Structure 1
Amino acid sequence: MSDTEEAPKSFADIGVMTQLCEACDKLGFKAPTEIQRDAIPWALQGRDVIGLAQTGSGKTAAFALPILQALWENPSPLFACVMAPTRELAFQIAETFEALGSAIGARCAVVVGGMDMIAQQIALSRKPHVVVCTPGRLQDHLENTKGFSLRTLKYLVMDEADRLLDLDFGPKIDQILKVIPRERNTFLFSATMTTKVAKLQRASLTNPVKVEVSTKYSTADKLLQYYMFFPFKRKDCYLVWLLNEMAGQSAIVFARTCNEVLRIGLLLRNLGIEAIPLHGQLSMDRRMGALNKFKSGKRNVLVATDVASRGLDIPAVDIVVNYDIPTHSKDYIHRVGRTARAGRSGRAISFVTQYDVELLQRIEQVIGKKLDEFPGNKDEIMLLQERVNEAQRMATLELKELQAKKGSKGKGKRSRDDNDDDNSKRISVDEAKKIRKGGKGGKKQRR
């Protein structure tokens, strides 16, 4: 669109039909975002689309609206399939489809790991219009669920494609591509155009239109970004001080491993801060429960691994705290993208110790701006140290008890879809094993 052209003011202006425009209005989608403005008209013309846009830009509606409009014009079961990298994102995409498609009677099924296979088979047997899935579990159903196929598929969407490929779903996606119709429309949405994504594009899209909203890694304009610098051993003390300072505001605290998320959650609870953990080792019900408590405001603090950093639209997150600064700069962008969404303002505060200076410099280079130092009175913060030390001791004991209980239940059978979540999961599993073993003869000592 040229500079002289006026941006479309409504979804009707870009060709969206009346029933879907009314659904958008009910959901509070007043005017199309840039990615929606650029992608939807091409998708409505039947073209394959590559959409590149930063997190929080409205990508889900950019592919959901054209699919629902095509479904209205040509209704058929198993019409569209959307692949997502994490279970939480799959449920969120399904919610958007159901909300937008309620006026036209669109039915949706979610097929992800960690959930009952038989219940999913029943849902698929009812021939939903849209299947939202993680690739591992979809492949399971294609191989093992009698009567299920995607022969009638008209639309395939790969959302957060860079993350799908980072999690090594490539081989599973290749197998799925072999058994679905070649005559289909394909939408590929990603925050970045990596070499893996480009390869996937060549394998799965036909003469696509490339719609690019941001050409580089960027963060929202209304996001205020800070760092706090202190010795590594003071991290917990600074976190407790910061959350007390921000009392009443909603915050997501990002840590690197599942084990650390659990420990921080226990620590904060021992100090009277009602925090709720979210990580890849929780059951799906508990993960959705944690998200819903945070979304509804029953809990103000969510402590999470990067399983919560991609795509999740949680309204009105005031602060993002990088307790562990991410090793990859693009993970930083996705984490801080949980706040300052849809034109709102927000704050991101990264904890930097003597071991993290280079990581901070790398992030600053990628986003093209220097982070400001967040003001804090060191003497005031250190007054909390004694209470924090006691809470740390209690949290460590509780964590060991939890790990001991897990160890006594046996290893259990792991799902084929366990890697739906985040790479930190693998690290924390190893850590958990070490804790359970407790060195040679660990089990004897516990008895």
Structure 2
Amino acid sequence: MQRQKISAKADQFRESVIREMTRVALQHDAVNLAQGFPDFPCPLELKQAAYEAIEADVNQYAITWGDVWRQAASRLRPFRHAIANKVRWYLGLDIDPETQITVTCGSTEAMAAVMLATVDPGDEVIVFEPYYENYGPDAILAAAKPRYVTLHPPDWTFDESQLRQAFNANTKAIIINTPHNPTGKVFTREELTLIAELCQKWDVLAFTNEIYEHILYDGTQHIALATLPGMEERTITINGLSKTYSVTGWRVGYILANPELTGAIRKVHDFLTVGAPAPLQRAGVAAMQLPPSYYQELAKLYHQKRDRILQILDQVGIPYFVPKGAYYVLADISKFGYKTDVEFTYHLIKEIGVAVVPGSSFFSQPEKRHSLIRFCFSKRPETLQTASDRLLKLQSNLQPTS
């Protein structure tokens, strides 16, 4: 008898399209506006703290759920305490660093650990669509069933009746990503209040990914779901250093949850990765101690980058949806006459020299969603200028359909 060697779970999803686009971009020397990483330095304070930690021989395991066990530099506070302090002043939440914070290998591992710690086979998890591509596979790996609720352009709003219908006796959790990747949507207080009402009515957990919490535009406000009445105990908040501090490769994330949920999450996290990099957790203390002015300047910086990418798209003639947060913009390529977004994307990489992400990768039925591509604009001005120069070739290379 020949045994099936690939699990049924692994057969249900493919590799990351985002990471695939980076590999293809490298093969063709294309400007990478696909994967969501900044190509500029992180704050000097983080570099210095990492140097000092490595020179102090902080090379061994941290405590599984966070902090360096040997406090060689007593002037630095442990990472979990620094996180709690930052959460207190920014979100107004009083989090116990000893029982309510888990440090993880990035927010990606955080979501996987949360799913595996709280979701049982057969449970349903509500996911807003389009969605960051990891969420579907995360649910599948937890043997759960994703139930998708559509976000409608141009403002990426959801239909209240569809959301209400998605909740049922099998619903275990709902995922909210705000600010949202890939649309740039920032969930409003009214939308979050409805979600909170339904979570409490059906006794459902909320998993929030708030990794872009400081990257906001046009006066938009970030509202943490855990701050709404009745939601602190049932919200699991995921965040990390990657986007706010321009260190996506450091893989340091964290989870906020009530003590009972944290206990389960820590067990799963322990057996997934043991712990996040010890010297980089020490550097994370420096990140959490940056003043409010840092975040104000960060927002200004990204506002300039957003305006620049929109200017480029206007020049090239590609319609788009204006993001209110995060550092991506979805553009509409339906007028260019390509059969699929993937075909268009490969043309951009190979012939134009710019890599983007085909929008179909953010939908549960990609074959029905071939009109969108995602640009990432967390790049240096020189990078965006090079992309602009190359994208202008589209005006002669592409003939819009009538």
Identify whether the pair has TM-score above 0.5, normalized to the shorter chain. no
- Structure having the higher helix fraction is 1
Please identify the structure whose Cα radius of gyration is greater.
Answer: 1
TM-score, normalised by the number of residues in structure 1: 0.35
Name which structure has the greater RCO, CA cutoff 8 Å, separation 6+.
2
